[in-house]
Chains A and B, each alone.
Chain A
Amino acid sequence: MQTTASHSPLHATVRQAAPARTSGRVRHYGRYLYLAINIAILVFLLAPIAVVVVFALNPTPFIQFPPVGVSLRWFEKFFASRDFMQALWFSLEVAVLTTVSATLLGASAALALARGNLPGTRLIVATMLSPLMLPAILTGLALFQTYVLLDVGRPTWGLVAGHTLVTLPYVVRTTLAVLHNFDTRLEEAAQNLGASPLRTFFEVTLPLIKPGVLAGAIFAFIVSFDQFPVSLFLVSPGNETLPVTLFNYLKFDLDGTIGAASVVSIVLAFVVVIGLDRTVGLRSYVKL
């Protein structure tokens, strides 16, 4: 505070003119209060996650606090459970399929919207982002009713289509943000130097929009892996995603298996985020 005042003559005069009002001490108290409030909010955000880890390791079969020890029995139970394992693999399968389709469809739609000179771009963008604003449970309900009416059952592609719909907005948004920010003259320069539109796309546009597409893909994976309301209506018995299985388990049991499953899915989400970033990031070095 003092240092900023010293190299600003205007600031210094004002401080002299009104010395009593904002004294350094009041400023400091304000600063402490600001930090204290924010740290309390961070505790509120993070404490529940810490609690989940504690309960995953606590050996008692019911909620108990303070914990009485450390054991891995809930992890053993989770990995030994056929239901949970099936759900975990099914969730991963759906999340991977969703990420691929949402990224392909979303990135190409964003490209068309930013570079295609389409009429009514604003309306199309608003429409493509609307699954974010509409309650996801409605998307689930509407798709469920459609599948019932068309008598197609509850196929995996139906679930993936629902997930793609609610994850696509993330890819469209992140890709559009990058497309809007970058200099179109780079593309023009490549074409002026004799590159075909296709080559320009692969060697100029794609590398430049990759961070946006990648961010969207990561969002798509996480949102799909954690997706609940759409899945609730579209999964079939025996083919349930992990969140639905966890939810059904939670309705009757509150033991540490849920904690263990939670820790596994948190770790998995982090691994995917870091892994995706590493691999795709590395490839860019190899290519260029």
Chain B
Amino acid sequence: MSSAAAQRPNGLALFILPGALLFALFFFLPIGLMALMSILTGNPVVAPKVAFTTRHYARMIGDPFYLEVIWTTIRIGLVTTLVALAIGYPLAHWMARIKSRAGHALLLMAVLAPMLTGIVVRTFAWMTLLSDRGVINQTLISLGLISQPLKLMYTETGIVVGLVHIYVPFMVLTLTGVIGRIDERLEQAAENLGASPLRAFLEVTLPLSLPGILAGSLLVFALAISAYVTPILLGGFQIMTLPILIYQQISANFNVGFAAALGIVLLMISLLLVVAYNRALGLVSGQHDLQ
């Protein structure tokens, strides 16, 4: 094949069309409409007279309650991401470095099993563990360690524990791929030159796995800030996050415009994150992509 022909799209390029159509109709159009709804006074289909307005955004900025909701969402997302990284890294490292194939398969199953279990089910599991009469409190009371049940549920800590459990597999799977691609001989070389295993890890493996750390953290953060089930059930309707507020605006108040504005804020947080991620990745990897 000549190089000129290689530049031009060939017949296979047409296969992109169905997917492109799906994205145009069910992704770009809806998000565009959401952006439009967030600056309109009402539904243009139902109401004859609609005008542009900034009142939905003004309401958000003017009321400390909404700013607090946004901050709570980001805070829960950040803490969840950090804990998921701390828990996910050792497991990912083990999975990437384990020699026996059976061991690797078992670890992979242990990580995938929670993923197969569904968000609602796992949140239920944490409710049975964390509630006042749940497994943890009952065990501690029967051991005589505490007399009153600890308040584990309906707290931000409870939400974070549940979210970490739900999203840590994403962190592990992302990290395993990246750690697995790091040549183990680099670590061995460092150890042969006198570095302790810990130092070899800190100075060789850890820096090389930064792209994976970033990718996994971005994924977990994006998932955590958009979580709805876990914050509402483990928070007992007492802790308000953006997704809860958005759904409340739709289901209880039917304030589509305000919900759209809140959605745009959530979208902006996510987009900012992706941009920051790409910047950070550029700084970390320096050279062209590792793939």
Contact = CB atoms under 8 A, between A and B. Distances in A.
Interface of A: 8, 10-11, 14, 17-18, 21-22, 26-27, 30, 34, 37-38, 41-42, 44-49, 51-52, 55, 62-66, 104-106, 108-109, 111-113, 115-119, 124, 127-128, 131-139, 141-146, 148-151, 161-162, 164-165, 168, 172, 180, 197, 222, 225-226, 228-229, 232-233, 243, 246-247, 250-251, 254, 258-259, 261-262, 265-266, 269-270, 273
Contacts of B273: 133
B208 interface: no
A17 B193 CA distance: 10
B4 to A, nearest CB: 11
Interface residues of B, number: 91
A117 B7 contact: yes
Given A63-B134, A142-B31, A14 B87 contact: no
B118 A265 contact: yes
A222 B168 contact: no
Interface string B106-127: 0100110111111111111111
A63 B33 contact: no
Contact of B13 (A18, A117, A247): A117
A258 B121 contact: yes
A64 B223 CA distance: 31
Nearest to A115: B12
A66 B142 CA distance: 10
B131 interface: yes
A117 B87 contact: no
B26 A232 contact: no
Contact of A117 (B6, B135, B197, B222): B6
B16 A109 contact: yes
B18 A105 contact: yes
Nearest to A273: B116
B11, B13, B15, B259 pick with most chain A CB within 10 angstroms: B15
Contacts of B29: 146
Given A27-B197, A64-B133, A109-B15, A143 B228 contact: no
Nearest to A248: B120
Contacts of B11: 116, 197
Given A10-B192, A38-B91, A63-B131, A127 B13 contact: no
B79 interface: no
A266 B33 contact: no
A26 to B, nearest CB: 8
Contact of B128 (A10, A63, A146, A180): A63
Interface string B24-57: 0111011101100100000111000000000000
B64 interface: no
Given A48-B129, A133-B222, A145-B34, A228 B120 contact: yes
Given A117-B10, A229-B226, A48 B165 contact: yes
B240 interface: no
A49 B125 contact: yes
A14 B194 contact: yes
- Which 8 residue pairs are nearest across A and B when measured between Cβ atoms? A135-B226, A116-B13, A48-B125, A142-B30, A109-B19, A112-B16, A112-B15, A108-B15
Given A66-B138, A229-B243, A145 B33 contact: yes
A209 B200 CA distance: 38
Given A65-B135, A66-B138, A269-B117, 15 more contacts: A11-B192, A51-B125, A51-B135, A115-B12, A135-B266, A141-B263, A142-B33, A142-B263, A148-B45, A149-B45, A161-B26, A168-B22, A180-B291, A228-B119, A262-B125
B22 A48 contact: no
B13 to A, nearest CB: 3
Nearest to B95: A38
B121 A112 contact: no
Contacts of A145: 30, 33-34, 37, 256, 259-260
A134 B263 CA distance: 11
Contacts of A143: 26, 30
A52 B138 contact: no
A7 to B, nearest CB: 13
A18 B191 CA distance: 11
B115 A142 contact: no
Contacts of B263: 138, 141-142
B246 A141 contact: yes
B102 interface: no
Nearest to B121: A262
B78 interface: no
